[in-house]
Amino acid sequence: MKWFKKSILFLVMSVSILCETVYAQQTLIDVKIDSAAILIGEQTKLHLTVTTDKDRPVHLLLPTDTLMRGVEVLEVSTPDSTLIENDRLLIKQDLLLTSFDSSLYLLPPLKVVDGNDTLLSNQVALKVSTIPVNTDNPEEFNDIKGVWKPPFVWADYYPIIFGVLLALFLLCIIVYIIKRLKNRKSLLPFSEPEVPKLPPYEQAIKELDELKGQKLWQQGLNKEYYTLLTETLRRYIDERFGVNAMEMTSSDILDMLRGVPEVKPVYDKLQQILQLADFVKFAKIHPLPDENDLSMANAYLFVNETKPVEVVPDKAEESEEEDKSSNDIKKKEEE
C-alpha cells in the first residue's frame, strides 16, 4: 500500500515538472488594438507581444503596406526586446493602421516563425464607420471651417527682434567711426591725450614750415603743394576773421576780405596765391619754380601782416596807475 502511494506521488511530480518544462519552452503571441472603432481616415495602433526563450530563434512576419483588403499599414515600429524573469524574452512591436472603407473587419492573425513552426496570433475586430449624415436634411452641407490663428508667442519673433537690435547697434558704431574719423580723432576717446590748441597765427606758421620742408613742388607734386597751402590759409582766415573759408570758393573769399582793413595791404598777395592754386588744381598748369617760391613767400607775408596786434600798455600810464594805487593805500592807512 505504501509502495503504491509513493508511486502515485512520484508520477504526479514527474508530470508537473514535465508540464513546467514544456510551458517554459513555448512561444506565446498576443495581439491587442487601441481602438476597435474608428471613423474613415482615422488611425489606430495594433500592439503585438511575443514571449519566448532568450536564445530561441524567432522571426516576426509583419505586413508593411496592407494588412488586408480595406485596411492599410501606415507604419511599423522597431521591435523592442526586454529580458524578463525565468530567462524569457519579451518582444513588442506596433503597427499603425487606417482604413478608407467603412466596414466591420476581422483582422487576420499575425504570424511568428518559431524554429520550424509558424505560430498565429489571436484575431481582433476593427469597425470603420463613415461620418454621420443628417438624413432628415440631406441637402444640408456644412461649410469648410476657417483656419485657426495660432496664439501669439514671443519666441517666434526673437530672430526678428535680435536682428533689428543688432542692425541698430552696427549702425551706431558706423556713425560713431565716421564722426571720429571726420574730426580726425582717435576711435578710442579715452586713449587720446588733450593737446592745447595753438593760436591761429602760430598754427598757420607751423603748417607753412612743415609744408616748406616737404618740398612737394620740387618732386613734381604741384597740385598737392597748392592744396595744402590753400587749406592752411583757409583755416587761418576762418579762425582769424570768422569767415567760413573752408566751404567757400576762392572768389568768395576774396570778395569777403576785400574791405577788411587788416587785409588791404596784402590783399594782392592772397589773390596771387588763390588764383594760381585754382589754375594748378583745375586747369592743371605747371607753375615755374619762381612762382612756387613766390606763393610760399606771399603766404608767410599774409599771415604775418594780418596777425592780431597785441596791445602793450604805455610805461607812463603804468607808473601813473601805480602812483594812484599807492596814494589810495596811504590815505586809507592815515584814516
Q: What are 110-157's pLDDT values in tens digits?
A: 999 888 888 889 999 999 998 776 667 766 666 777 888 888 888 888
Confidence of residue 27 (pLDDT cuts 50, 70, 90): confident
User: The cell 602760430 sits on which residue?
Assistant: 202
- The CA distance from 302 to 296, in Å, is 10
pTM beyond 0.75, yes or no? no
Nearest to 269 by CA among 249, 294, 244: 294
CA dihedral 267, 273, 276, 279 (to 10 degrees): -100
pLDDT at 39: 92
- The CA distance from 268 to 270, in Å, is 5
Any idea which of 21-30, 62-71, 168-177, 255-264 has the lowest mean pLDDT? 21-30
Q: Report percent pLDDT > 70 for the chain.
A: 79
pLDDT at 25: 60
Nearest to 282 by CA among 241, 324, 246, 250: 250
8 Å CB contact between 115 and 23: no
pLDDT (average), residues 50-73: 89
Q: Residue ranges of the alpha helices (H) in the chain?
A: 2-25, 158-182, 200-214, 222-241, 250-257, 267-282, 289-306, 315-334
